[in-house]
Amino acid sequence: MRIVAQYLLFAAITATGCGQQSLTPADFAAQRQRMVEQQLKPRGIKEERVLAAMAKVPREEFVPADERGDAYEDGPLPIGFDQTISQPYIVAFMTEQLRLKPSDRLLEIGTGSGYQAAVLAELVADVYTIEIVEPLAKTAGATLQRLGYKNVHLRVGDGYQGWPEEAPFDAIIVTCAPDKVPEPLVDQLKDGGRMVIPVGERFAQQLYLLEKKNGQLKESATLPVRFVPMVRETQKK
């Protein structure tokens, strides 16, 4: 009986120790590098600046504390309010499609946790990002500020309308899915600019790349995807 009791006590201590085990910054850095080598490069992400940004931005800082151990897994993670942080590959793919330059000004619709904005902030001069869920916006803003991303400008609002006061933008990225491309975003894209946006119903979406040339849009489908639907101001109530 004593042996059984000692075994159970040991098992309880071991389980407690495992549950409390925390990863160090070096552990997370190693996981980031593995993510780049095993998830991104084999799937065709080639742009060195994008790979460097993905290897630098601490994804674990943008997920809930109880999800940190899975921060570099090959999939999306919940961040609350029925929203998610996208799969690392999708973040890298969308970013690479934009062909960003260091001087670019970019608009992001759907800040979420702020992770995509941080990756973009490594690559462009300014990121203007809009989030309709106020608690998410506050958390993302605090995280971005704590990590020193001074070139990210965040506002709470309806992303469908874009940010006309700061338009036009060299690039636009949308991380939630409307049923059609919002006309205000097309209007706010510079001539020569590029937009990546998922479009469609919840379980039948395509990721589109739109290129604006001489006022006309060239549209091409790139990937089947599954993003959370775009929420409009009128739907919040």
The angle, 0 to 180 degrees and rounded to 10, between the axes of the packed helices 88-97 and 48-56 is 140
Query: Distance (Å, rounded) from C-alpha 87 to C-alpha 3?
Result: 47
Among 22, 86, 103, 113, which one carries the catalytic annotation? 86
- 223 three-class SS: strand
Active site includes 113?
A: no
CB 110 within 8 A of CB 131: yes
Which of 237, 227, 165 lies closest to 201 in space, CA to CA? 227
- Terminal Cα distance for the chain, rounded: 60
Query: Distance (Å, rounded) from C-alpha 189 to C-alpha 210?
Result: 10
Tokens 């006022």 sit at which residue?
A: 215
Positions marked catalytic: 86
